């Protein structure tokens, strides 16, 4: 099923492909990390924020792969049982999960959320809510990792060196188009008479990058088509459930169950529900199942606030990180091995003992800071 949201997803993949193919993301990441020095706590928080920003721009599927490739030289110079290695790998994974909430194209669940929000929020509105939530959550998780791993003890870190390549004309062109596109996404509602919606703006990078030969047919074929089909399938499923009356029936029963509860009470209940579900069945599937229901219940309340409930639930999808299978960053992290011994750096216990508390901390941030910011912008 084709909608402007699917077009937005294609535009996001186009930007991510260009940033990765021409090493722009890696150039920026290595430059930032080279300034972090050799203090373990500083290196850890710098890597976590780089992972968050990379997730925001090139998706939380590609971001951990990029970040893990950058830290390989550092890991090779650390003992295989080093607490810093564990904290660094887990920190990047958890920050990539959190970064999946930072922008509308950072993860599939955000695209699914946009499909269930009427009217769709602008990128500016999304950033206003999501960025403070993500930044505060990452700082809290960083403190948690410092307290539980104590990575500074006896750790000698090899500093990351920036790539010496200078920006070429093509890289400046890609960066310029990316910045202009994101700015237009941020002010879509103000320019609705010119562009219509975010899907139309997404055509700009697609035409310019493929039309000039910066990206090729092979790059197009390498898009994550499974995610696009999944999003389109979710749209179709949502329409079918809605038109058949099933969604209305289920939502009506839930609305009766939460009758008398305040908006904040309903928000907390849905946030907790989707956190538990997304931990076990993946972020995207949880969003596909629950977000249409959340919207319907929100619309049927005495004081309707469907967009607030949907966005809060989408943020909580990214907060589910208590198991190695909870999200792609976690799956990537647990597969990381010490090349000299073949042993994995992380085990399931590390996700249970740090991932679950991290989810709880993020839950607390979403139901406090996130809720307050959404009320400020009138969701």
pTM above 0.75, yes or no: yes
* C-beta atoms surrounding 212 within 10 Å: 12
CB 33 within 8 A of CB 74: no
CB 315 within 8 A of CB 370: yes
Question: Which is more confidently placed, 239 or 86?
Answer: 86
Distance CA(66)–CA(309), nearest Å, equals 33
pLDDT band at 153 (very low <50, low <70, confident <90, very high): low
Taking the CA atoms of residue 211, residue 213, residue 218 and residue 222 in that order, the dihedral angle to the nearest 10 degrees is -70
**212-233 pLDDT tens trace:** 989 998 888 888 787 777 667 7
Q: Nearest-5° angle of CA 174, CA 314, CA 10?
A: 30
Distance CA(192)–CA(152), nearest Å, equals 51
Mean pLDDT of the region 175-179: 89
**106-141 pLDDT tens trace:** 888 898 898 888 888 888 899 999 999 999 999 999
């Amino acid at each position: 099923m084709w909608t402007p949201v699917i077009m937005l997803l294609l535009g996001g993949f186009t930007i991510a492909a260009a940033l990765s193919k021409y090493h722009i993301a890696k150039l920026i990441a290595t430059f930032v990390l080279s300034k972090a020095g050799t203090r373990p706590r500083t290196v850890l928080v710098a890597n976590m924020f780089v992972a968050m920003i990379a997730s925001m721009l090139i998706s939380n599927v590609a971001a951990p792969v990029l970040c893990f490739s950058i830290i390989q030289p550092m890991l090779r110079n650390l003992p295989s049982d080093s607490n810093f290695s564990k904290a660094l790998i887990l920190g990047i994974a958890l920050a990539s999960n959190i970064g999946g909430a930072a922008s509308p194209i950072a993860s599939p669940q955000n695209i699914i959320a946009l499909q269930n929000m009427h009217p769709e929020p602008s990128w500016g509105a999304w950033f206003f809510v999501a960025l403070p939530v993500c930044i505060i959550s990452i700082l809290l998780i960083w403190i948690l990792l410092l307290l539980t791993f104590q990575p500074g003890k006896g750790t000698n870190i090899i500093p990351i060196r920036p790539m010496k390549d200078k920006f070429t004309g093509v890289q400046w062109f890609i960066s310029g188009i990316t910045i202009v596109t994101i700015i237009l996404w941020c002010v879509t509602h103000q320019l609705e008479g010119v562009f219509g919606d975010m899907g139309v703006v997404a055509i700009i990078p697609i035409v310019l990058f493929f039309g000039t030969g910066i990206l090729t047919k092979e790059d197009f074929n390498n898009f994550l088509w499974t995610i696009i089909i999944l999003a389109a399938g979710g749209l179709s499923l949502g329409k079918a459930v809605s038109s058949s009356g099933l969604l209305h029936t289920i939502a009506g029963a839930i609305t009766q169950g939460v009758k008398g509860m305040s908006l904040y009470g309903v928000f907390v209940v849905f946030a907790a529900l989707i956190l538990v579900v997304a931990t076990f069945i993946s972020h995207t599937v949880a969003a596909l199942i629950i977000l249409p229901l959340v919207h319907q219940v929100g619309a049927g309340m005495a004081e309707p606030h469907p967009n607030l409930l949907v966005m809060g639930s989408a943020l909580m999808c990214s907060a589910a990180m208590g198991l190695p299978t909870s999200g792609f960053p976690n799956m990537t992290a647990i597969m990381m091995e010490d090349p000299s011994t073949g042993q994995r750096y992380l085990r399931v216990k590390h996700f249970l003992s740090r991932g679950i508390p991290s989810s709880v901390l993020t839950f607390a941030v979403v139901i406090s800071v996130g809720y307050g910011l959404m009320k400020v912008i009138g969701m």
